[in-house]
Structure 1
Amino acid sequence: MEENRNRKPLRFFGLGEILPYARAYRREIAGMVLLGLGSSLCDAIYPLFNRYALNRYVGEGRLETLPSFLSLYFLVLLAQVLANFISSYFICKVELFIGRDLKNASFNHLQTLSFSYFNTHNVGYIHARIMSDTDRIATMMSWRLMDFVWNLSYILFAMLVMLRIQPRLALRLLLLLPFAAAAIGFFQRRVLRMNRRVREMNAVLTGDFNEGITGAKTIRTMVLAEKISADFRKDTREMRRRSIHATHYAALFTATVTMMSSAALALVLWRGGEMTAVRLLEIGSLSVFLSYALGIMEPIQYIIEAFSTLLDVQVNIERFSALLHIESDVKDSPAVIERYGDSFRPKRENWEPLYGEVAFRDVSFRYPDGEEEVLRHFNLKVEKGSRIAIVGETGAGKSTLVNLVCRFFEPTAGAVLIDGRDARERSQLWLHSHIGYVLQTPHLFSGSIRDNLRYGREDATDEEIWEALRLVSAADVAERMGRGLDSEVGEGGDLLSTGEKQLLSFARAILADPAILVLDEATSSVDTVTERRIQEAARRLTEGRTSFLIAHRLSTIIDADRILAVRDGHIVEAGTHRELMEKRGYYYRLYTRQYEDARTEGEFGERQAAEI
């Protein structure tokens, strides 16, 4: 991806990019670190209780201090339990809150990016940046950080205790640690690499399941069951092979850790036993060394694992940082933001009304990911209340003009004027709040019909919503779903047909009462009867409003004030329906061909009806 190519690797694992988010929770982080140190200190103290008990109660046979011993032991135990509980609370809070802040920062930044970003990045990639990357960063800043604190502090406390009791034996034991760390690190890296390959294969299997379920009808109708099953068996065999390989290495890794612990224990038993025999070391002190020898390898393993996680998460931090450093192709100037606000802090009190006059002044335009200019020195003036139709074949570039009017893209040269002023002199939010847009592919949000229509106007009453639905002949959609305006539309409106979603989108635009209306193929997915109703509603709605109509069905726009014919991204003709038909050019060919196709379909339908 472009942002990954342009961004340089971050210093210090990229932690500098995350510190501003962690700084907001510095008290919680300080608390969990201090409590973690306290918990590790308690772990390091327990062997000293064993030492005292062996020397005092077993070696000397004196029990007069037993009550105070037990009281102190349970006091330390209680302190550790409380420290672990409170630190875990802080860790969870830091993980959730930093994760939330990272997601909010990512999502909010996405709202400021232009359409060109979404044209060049797929949904899965963006979703991974917002969800997966931020989760891994938040986990690293909480649990992995505390793994490092807990285990490193335990090793340091244990070293200090051993050096204080018997320096020579402690140094012999400490000589094993570098070799143990190297061996553990060697296997740890390979186990992580193999587990990553297993996860990748698991993702492939998940995709197989998804295709098998969502494509069940296609698989049956095309008799692909055997081929799909064979592919699935192949993937499961590969999954089995990788899993067994990873399990073998994991077992070898566990055996290595056990072997190093046994080596440390053997060293203590050998040298410590000799010292104890000549009374250079008490039996209680030997037990301390034995406890540390048994428990010191596991912390080394966790420290290496935490460091490996930090190396892995550096990639997530770099991708997160790269996303936040992407600049939109369309952005408001500091002066505009100062006066009108931005998308999240609008200064509506400074907003002027929008009347609807639009003009293209010597506009040239090239898409950010393209090389050829699709507009060159283009001029057009659209009076307030005019109905402008844009026609052409599929892929001709009909949406380019509308994208420029809506400021989804900026002109490469020239200017788009709104009410006589350059659109860049006022905020994007000001412009977008005065535009009603019915998309070619209608989108509804999860929730009820009422929730979706109130995106057009938040304070719309139920009566106004019903009126908008009736205006576009969509009232029966809400009534048929059983719960009226409370009916759920499903994720993306998947409980409705495309035509029904388009009708609700149209009603939403009506509620917004926009000064500029854009209908992008707005009647291409509804039946003929509903299309006529929408055309009548659109005719009433567009009265007094500047309207841009994009349609394949040319019969729907013959009464437009001006028609722009687009071919290969360029406007080749402009005029009224009558003027363009008289020219007998591109528009004439489009219209007559469509008319002939419609007549042929009608005659075919009549023959079928007669045969029945």
Structure 2
Amino acid sequence: MQNTKETRGGNQRGGNMTRGAGPRGGRPDDSTPKISITQSLKRLSVYTKKSTGLIILTAIAVLIGTLVTVLTPKVLGNTTTIIFDGVRRATGIDFTQLRLTLLILLGLYLLTFLTSFLQQRFMTVITQDITRRLRRDLKAKLNRLPIDYFDQHQNGELMSIATNDVDNIVSGLQRSLTSIISSIISAIGVFVMMLTISPLLTLVVCLMIPVMLLVTRLVTPKAQKYNGEYFGSLGQLNTQIEESLQGFTVVKSFNGTQNALAKFEHANQSMVTSGWKAVFISGLTMPMMTLVQNIVYVLIAAIGSLSVVGGTMTLGNMQAFLQYSSQFSSPLLQLAQIWGTLLSMLTSINRIFSVLDADEMDETLGDYPNEPASDAKVSFKHVQFGYDDKLLMPDFNMAVEPGQMTAIVGETGAGKTTVINLLERFYDIKGGALLVNGQDIRNISRHDLRAKMAMVLQETWLFSGTIFDNIKYGNETATDEEVYAAAKAAYADDFIQKLPDGYQTILNENADNISQGQRQLLTIARAFIANPEILILDEATSNVDSRTELIVQQAMERLLKHRTSFVIAHRLSTIYDADRILVMDHGNIVESGTHQELLAQNGTYHQLYTSQFATA
């Protein structure tokens, strides 16, 4: 049974419930809204509120470390001056003052190490907390999104957003946040220190600032474009890998290895092309700034040397200024380098918030007319529905009595699965009314509605874990005895007991360490333990052999007893005993009756029957 309760794993897609139900596996949405870096960082800052204390401590550590770094060249310059003046004077070097200065210098270096360690420690805690909460919100959001969102977005793309984009933001924050703070403080502090030594040389150093702004302005648009293409290609690559692994047997059976490799290579090459362009464009800032820095450094050395010779500047101040000029250019180069990281982060933030901002399922309870006196368990009254503007069901009507088994047959695309999609509220009707126990389902929460139902599908869904846990998934409050009883009722206990670890046998990712028939029996056991009012069977025996089909049918007969049920069937031999068989075509019921009644009508059902059982 697929999970039909949003509180347990969210709104599941129900295996293949949506097949034929509109666009599946479409390309990712390329219309991601673009927002500025300021807006992006503002939205991201919501996830840092719980770490405000640590951020303040990080800022204090950065401030102290930066101030120490700014003071160090000045103290080192004083050391040079003490030695140089002592050599020139007859009295010699003042070793007492020199030792004091060196001790101060050692203390500054130790303080630099300590503040750097604390910065890294605090930032690791902050960024990992952001990672946890971002992924938590993304997972919760995906559980609240409507089915059609997943019809239009590839699984690989969504997985890439939840993993690669979150990691990109966190690693970017880890690298850039402290660097931005220290760079700004360092640039201001160094600028002040340079002014105290030589305003003229300070003016020469400041020539780097307009160059950096110009380069940034030229680089930003292209970098944003290629970053977006890169992460989009990464999502496509994930999708390609996921599809190839899931369909590995089919790929091998149809000799599709080369075709799969060609598709992978195309996606891989697309990612590489956009990736190197993004990195190259973003990286242009650094070499251009380095070139300007070297030119400025030569000018400072030339002008400073003349000042020392002319006696307007001491040798120690000259040495200190050269170090300060390097320190001033270093934060500018860091900011230029960080800019590329910020652009990459911006792309990831846009992609993440495009999911977080997507329209959710409307959980507001409606105020539609109910029919408490209705005797029908399920009623479709003049229901209208379509996946696009075109109506698939212009006027659908059906009433199912309590305990009645209703089979639905018809050609592919006739609307059989759509009936189930509407009953489970995977999609909402566009007109008319759909009632369960006399209540319009739009007046019932999806959780409460799906708690009344269980599904056994053609393609079984079992998660990685023990057989015991997979059965208990249908009812998390069930006791151990109830789990064992459900397995026995589904005729699954016999094969489970023969497994080496019994109920504690671990199923792998696709549960292919047991047979298809055994997987189906486990889903039936899961439906048993859920004890639903309404049971939905979608070709539950079509993928098993004839002998296993008999066992599965016996298990389903037990499950169907005294329950209202809907059975979607292509193999008509499985529905001979149905209380009513509905024949659908283009969203409408064209025939209705028992098996014998429909054969006697010599209509569409008769044609379906003879096409399956006619003998030569």
Contact 2:474/2:529 (8 A) holds in 1:
yes
Q: Identify if the C-alpha distance between structure 1 residues 185 and 366 changes in structure 2 by more than 3 Å, giving closer, same or farther.
A: closer
- Write the distance in 1 (CA, Å) between the matches of 2:382 and 2:279: 67
What CA distance in whole angstroms lies between the structure 2 residues aligned with 1:10 and 1:190? Answer: 15
Partner of 2:382: 362
C-alpha distance in 2 between matches for 1:179 and 1:439:
64
Partner of 2:545: 527
Change (3 A) 1:243 1:279: same
* Aligned mates of 1:119, 1:432 — CA distance in 2: 21
After TM superposition, give the deviation of residue 518 of structure 1 in Å: 0.9
Q: How many residues align?
A: 579
RMSD between aligned residues: 3.9
| 3-state secondary structure, aligned to 2:311 | coil
Change (3 A) 1:289 1:182: farther
Q: Are 2:37 and 1:19 equivalent residues in the alignment?
A: no
Secondary structure class of the residue paired with 2:454? strand
Q: Structure 1 residues 384 and 74 mapped into 2: Cα distance closer, same or farther (>3 Å)?
A: farther
Moved more, 406-415 or 142-151: 142-151
Between the aligned partners of 2:576 and 2:260, the Cα distance in structure 1 is 50
Question: Conserved in 1, the CA contact under 8 Å of 2:156 and 2:235?
Answer: no
Q: Percent identity?
A: 30
Q: Specify the SS of the correspondent of 2:434.
A: strand
> 1:269-311: per-residue Cα shift (whole Å, max 9, x none)?
1111111112211111111111123344342222123233333
8 A contact 1:29–1:94 mirrored in 2: yes
Partner residue, 1:56: 82
Q: How does 1:526-565 map to 2 (within 5 A)?
A: 526-565=544-583
d(CA) in 2 for partners of 1:246 and 1:325? Answer: 26
| Selected match of 2:596 from 554, 578, 584 | 578
- The answer on whether the counterparts of 2:415 and 2:584 sit within 8 Å (CA) in structure 1 is yes
Question: 2-side partners of 1:583 and 1:502: how far apart?
Answer: 35
> Are 2:188 and 1:168 equivalent residues in the alignment?
no
Match of 1:92 among 124, 130, 145: 124
What is the aligned counterpart of 1:262 among 291, 294, 298? 294
Distance 2:225 2:271 in 1: 15
Cα deviation code 1:314-357 (max 9, x no counterpart): 33333322322322355333999xxxxxxxxxxxxxxxxxx992
Distance 1:383 1:37 in 2: 74
* Per-residue Cα deviation, 1:142-180 (whole angstroms, up to 9, x for no partner): 432222222222222111110122222211222244335
Among 150, 154, 158, the residue aligned to 2:190: 158
User: What amino acid is aligned across from residue 534 of structure 2 in structure 1?
Assistant: I
Cα offset, 1:447, TM superposition: 1.3
Identify if the C-alpha distance between structure 1 residues 294 and 185 changes in structure 2 by more than 3 Å, giving closer, same or farther: farther
1:299 equivalent in alignment to 2:324: no
Q: Is 1:289 paired with 2:307?
A: no
Q: Which has the higher contact order (CA 8 A, sep 6+)?
A: 2
CA deviation vs aligned residue, 1:351-372 (integer Å, no higher than 9, x gap): xxxx9922222221122xx232
Displacement after TM superposition at 1:455 (Å):
0.8
| Equivalent in the alignment of 2:161 | 129
* Deviation for aligned residue 1:186: 6.1
Question: Are 2:133 and 1:107 aligned?
Answer: no
Residue type of the alignment partner of 1:533? I
**1:475-514 equivalences in 2 (<5 Å):** 475-514=493-532
Q: One-letter code of the match for 2:161?
A: R
* Alignment-mate amino acid for residue 36 of structure 1: V
Deviations 1:507-559 (A, max 9, x none): 11111111111111111111112212222222222222111111211111111
Give, in whole Å, the separation in 2 of the partners of 1:403 and 1:139.
41
- Cα deviation per residue 1:221-240 (whole Å; 9 max; x = unaligned)? 87888999999999999999
1:418 to 436, 448, 453: 436
Per-residue CA shift, 1:6-60, capped at 9, x if unaligned? 8574683433332322223222222222322222222222211211111123423
Counterpart pick for 2:453 among 435, 441, 448: 435
Instruction: Extract unaligned runs of 5+ from structure 2.
Output: 1-26, 87-92, 369-374
Letter aligned with residue 472 of structure 2: R
- Distance change (3 Å), C-alpha of 1:248 and 1:556: closer
Distance 1:469 1:245, change over 3 A: closer
Residue 414 of structure 1 aligns to a residue whose secondary structure is: strand
Distance between the aligned counterparts of 1:490 and 1:125, measured in 2? 24
Counterpart pick for 2:584 among 557, 563, 566:
566
Q: How does 1:346-495 map to 2 (within 5 A)?
A: 357-367=377-387, 370-495=388-513
Contact 2:29-2:153 within 8 A present in 1 as well: no
Mapped contact 2:474–2:526 kept (Cα < 8 A) = yes
Determine if contact 1:478/1:484 at 8 Å carries over to the other structure: yes
Preserved contact between residue 260 and residue 297 of structure 1 (Cα < 8 Å): no
For structure 1, list consecutive stretches of 5 or more residues without a partner in the other structure: 337-354, 601-612
Query: Mean alpha-carbon deviation: is it higher for 141-150 or for 513-522?
Result: 141-150
SS of the residue aligned with 1:592?
A: helix
Contact 1:4 1:322 in 2 (8 A): no
Structure 1 pair 141/229, CA: closer, same or farther in 2 (3 Å)? closer
User: Which range is displaced more, 578-587 or 206-215?
Assistant: 206-215
**TM-score normalized with structure 2 length:** 0.82
Whether the 8 Å contact between 1:180 and 1:297 is mirrored in structure 2 is: no
AA aligned to 1:373 is L
8 A contact 2:290–2:333 mirrored in 1: no
Q: Which amino acid aligns with 1:23?
A: K
Q: What secondary structure, in the 3-state scheme, does the structure 2 residue paired with 1:526 have?
A: coil
Correspondence for 1:71 among 92, 97, 103: 103
**Cα offset, 1:456, TM superposition:** 0.9
8 Å Cα contact 1:356-1:419 kept in structure 2: yes
CA distance in 2, matches of 1:278, 1:384: 106
Residue 470 of structure 1 and its aligned partner are, at CA, apart by 3.0
Higher percent of residues as helix: 1
Checking the alignment, whether the CA contact within 8 Å between 1:184 and 1:256 is kept in structure 2 is: no
Query: What is the alpha-carbon distance in structure 1 between the residues aligned to residue 455 and residue 248 of structure 2?
Result: 36
Hey, what's the Cα distance between the residues in 2 that align with 1:196 and 1:17? 19
**Alpha carbons of 1:319 and 1:258: their partners in 2 closer, same or farther (altered >3 Å)?**
closer
1:181 and 1:301 in contact (8 A); partners too: no
Where 1:431 maps in the other structure, the secondary structure is: helix
Aligned-partner SS, 1:436: strand
Alignment correspondent of 1:340: none
Q: Report the Cα distance in structure 2 between the residues aligned to 1:418 and 1:533, rounded to whole angstroms.
A: 31
Q: Measure how far apart 1:436 and its partner are.
A: 0.9
Question: 1:579-602, CA deviations, whole angstroms, 9 ceiling, x for partnerless residues?
Answer: 212211111111222122xx67xx
Aligned partners of 2:576, 2:354: CA distance in 1, in Å?
48
| 1:361 alignment partner, SS class | strand
Question: How far apart are the structure 2 equivalents of 1:243 and 1:318?
Answer: 18
Cα pair distance change 1:416/1:129, threshold 3 Å: same
1:323 matched to which residue of 2? 355
Stretch deviating more after TM superposition (514-523 or 32-41):
32-41
Question: SS of the residue aligned with 1:549?
Answer: strand
Residue type of the partner of 2:593? Answer: G
User: Is the Cα–Cα contact under 8 Å of residues 385 and 430 in structure 2 kept in the other structure?
Assistant: yes
